[in-house]
């Protein structure tokens, strides 16, 4: 008998509709798994057990009455802790927002709830999404379910670890420079970053406003397509939201790749890439060729400038966005201070962690008088050039193929000891955000340590269907594999 928690989100949704599994049984399976292994993985910051069980009863009634018919009705999910959820703490894994409980939900959450999805709780993350390992959280590190001595990636490491460890059936994350795709690669799950403006940012606590985008993390491509179809919508509350002609993504789930042109940037396969990752990516290229695609290498310039330009822009936007956390209206306030300026200084010094303070200082520096032109404006010009470079590439290719990360998941503590090395780990994902493009990471193998490797597929703006089609076609050549973790009885804890 197949374990409930081993099902994909769509498989579970189908069994709930056919009355083979009740919504409460599905919620209990997730809660039981959380109770059993959460002390080892630490994927969650908070779990709303009572709320999830109460919501399960409500959703079951709606399904039985025929009012909820969507493919995800009754499916339990986890939400990254920088996406606002009404009545559930949203902390950004920071001491600064430790006691913040939103009075409203993000538009993406409202869309999920309308579809009958059950929110289990909030997942751990790098503080204010600033990091690549989920080690900068104020509430402790998250561990990779494949090997507890390794990081899950970041900043959506909690969401990806929760899906990988079968503590939920899917999760939402946010992606500013690869924060969905990179941890998906490290944790052996599938993560999709949509085109900028496809999913409303209303209710997403901002890091880099011109880069942030909410997206799904799941066990396979089909789930990601269905989740994106559910959360994507035009939202007048978000000035960057785009009204698209169609929000149909599941129709792209077909194997035929005849005539599809796929390019592999030669720059992505050079210095700094682990040989095992390179081998895995080239094997994916061979599979796609056999499926009918034309695959060839090409030169994608400006890759070397992606990391410095990104960190200048993202840090500048972060310094502006995080200035609101000053201890006055909400958030952490220092217990002892003398005067207004001392309160600002102490509240921010004590409320923010090291990595957040580093990026605020960098952002304030590049925006300061005398350095604005030299750094910030130059980074914006580089961003525009990168978009032009991708535009030229997509005149020739439908999809760009490459690694998601330079290597498999590093050991805990390795990256924080060398922040520059951590920043360079985002080299393959950052340019997608800079150009506002969609990208998806799909598991494609394991290294000699048994750690997952991910491959990334990048599409042109608003062409998610092409990357979904290519990713789905590759996925049919392999089966989803979960970490070998203890199987437990699926009863409500």
Residue (of 15, 9, 231, 42) closest to 134 by Cα position: 42
Kind and range of the H or E run holding 77: strand 76-80
Helices marked H in 101-237: 107-114, 157-164, 181-187, 221-231
**CA 456 – CA 349 distance, rounded (Å):** 38
b/e sequence 394-407, b meaning 16+ C-beta within 10 Å: beebbbbbbbbbbb
Strands 213-218 and 190-193, by their bridges, are antiparallel
In the chain, DSSP finds a helix count (H) and a strand count (E) of: 15, 11
| Alpha-carbon dihedral angle through residues 214, 205, 431, 391, given to the nearest 10 degrees | 60
Q: Which of 137, 179, 222, 233 is catalytic?
A: 179
| 179 carries an active-site annotation | yes
Sign of CA dihedral 235, 236, 242, 247: positive
CB of 453 closer than 8 Å to CB of 184: no
Q: Which of 155, 222, 415, 431 is catalytic?
A: 155
Q: What are the φ and ψ backbone dihedral angles of 443, each rounded to 5 degrees? A: -60, 135
Q: Which of 5, 15, 30, 80 is catalytic?
A: 80
| 80 carries an active-site annotation | yes
**CA 296 – CA 280 distance, rounded (Å):** 16
Kind and range of the H or E run holding 476: none
| 209 carries an active-site annotation | no
Active site residues: 80, 155, 179
């Amino acid at each position: 008998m197949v374990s409930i928690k081993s099902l994909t989100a769509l498989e579970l949704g189908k069994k709930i509709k056919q009355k083979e599994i009740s919504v409460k049984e599905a919620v209990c399976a997730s809660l039981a798994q959380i109770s059993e292994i959460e002390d080892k993985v630490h994927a969650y910051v908070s779990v709303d057990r009572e709320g999830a069980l109460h919501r399960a009863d409500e959703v079951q009634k709606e399904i039985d009455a025929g009012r909820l018919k969507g493919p995800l009705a009754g499916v339990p999910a986890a939400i990254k802790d920088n996406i606002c959820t009404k009545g559930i703490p949203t902390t950004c894994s920071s001491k600064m927002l430790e006691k913040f409980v939103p009075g409203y939900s993000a538009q993406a959450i409202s869309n999920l709830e309308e579809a009958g999805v059950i929110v289990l709780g909030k997942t751990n993350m790098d503080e204010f999404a600033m990091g690549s390992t989920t080690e900068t959280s104020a509430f402790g590190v998250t561990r990779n379910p494949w090997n507890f001595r390794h990081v899950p990636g970041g900043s959506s490491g909690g969401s990806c670890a929760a899906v990988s460890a079968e503590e939920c059936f899917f999760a939402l994350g946010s992606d500013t420079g690869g924060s969905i795709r990179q941890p998906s690669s490290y944790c052996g799950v599938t993560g999709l970053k949509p085109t900028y403006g496809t999913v409303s940012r209303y209710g997403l606590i901002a890091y880099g406003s011109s880069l942030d985008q909410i997206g799904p993390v799941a066990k396979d491509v089909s789930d990601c397509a269905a989740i994106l179809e559910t959360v994507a919508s035009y939202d007048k509350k978000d000035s960057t939201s785009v009204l698209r002609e169609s929000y149909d993504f599941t129709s792209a789930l077909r194997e035929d790749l005849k005539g599809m042109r796929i390019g592999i940037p030669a720059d992505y396969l050079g210095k700094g890439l682990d040989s095992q990752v390179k081998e895995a990516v080239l094997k994916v290229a061979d599979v796609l060729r056999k499926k009918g695609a034309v695959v060839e290498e090409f030169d994608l310039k400006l890759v070397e400038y992606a990391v410095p330009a990104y960190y200048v822009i993202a840090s500048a936007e972060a310094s502006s966005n995080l200035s609101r956390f000053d201890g006055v209206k909400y958030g952490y306030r220092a217990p002892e201070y003398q005067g207004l300026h001392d309160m600002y200084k102490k509240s921010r010094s004590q409320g923010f962690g090291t990595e957040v303070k580093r990026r605020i200082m960098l952002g304030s520096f590049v925006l300061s008088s005398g350095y604005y032109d030299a750094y910030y404006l130059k980074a914006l010009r580089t961003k525009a050039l990168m978009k032009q470079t991708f535009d030229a590439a997509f005149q020739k290719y439908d999809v760009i193929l490459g690694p998601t990360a330079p290597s498999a998941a590093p050991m805990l503590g390795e990256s924080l000891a060398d922040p520059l090395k951590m920043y360079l780990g985002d080299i393959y994902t950052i340019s997608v955000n800079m150009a506002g493009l969609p990208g998806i990471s799909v598991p494609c193998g394991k290294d000699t340590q048994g750690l997952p490797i991910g491959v990334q597929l990048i599409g042109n703006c608003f062409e998610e269907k092409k990357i979904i089609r290519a990713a789905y076609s590759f996925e049919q050549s392999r089966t989803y594999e979960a970490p070998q973790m203890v199987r437990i009885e699926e009863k409500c804890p």
